[in-house]
Amino acid sequence: MTQEEIEAIAQRPTYCKTDGEAVTLSRAERDALVAICRVVVEKFASGNSIPVERITIRAEELGKG
């Protein structure tokens, strides 16, 4: 996902549901965001005990899994 695609998702208007506001994502958008989150969590949980200010994710890391 590009920064522009992520920003477009962030700026989508919300709509009301019974349990709060919601935004609709396509399956591809959801899968891309989940892949990014999995890589981030894996990097934070690597056990290296180094404070993290920035995480770099390579494109090939998103393709695994």
Considering its fold, how many domains does the chain have in total?
A: 1
Q: Print the domain residue range for 42.
A: 3-63
Q: Tell whether the torsion through CA atoms of 4, 7, 9 and 13 is positive or negative.
A: negative
Distance CA 33, CA 13 (A): 18
The single-letter DSSP state of residue 42 is H
What pLDDT is stored for residue 49 in this prediction? 62
pTM exceeds cut of 0.95: no
Distance CA 27, CA 51 (A): 33
CB atoms within 10 A of CB 40: 13
List pLDDT tens digits, range 23-62. 888 998 888 888 888 887 777 776 666 666 666 777 777 7
Distance CA 54, CA 32 (A): 20
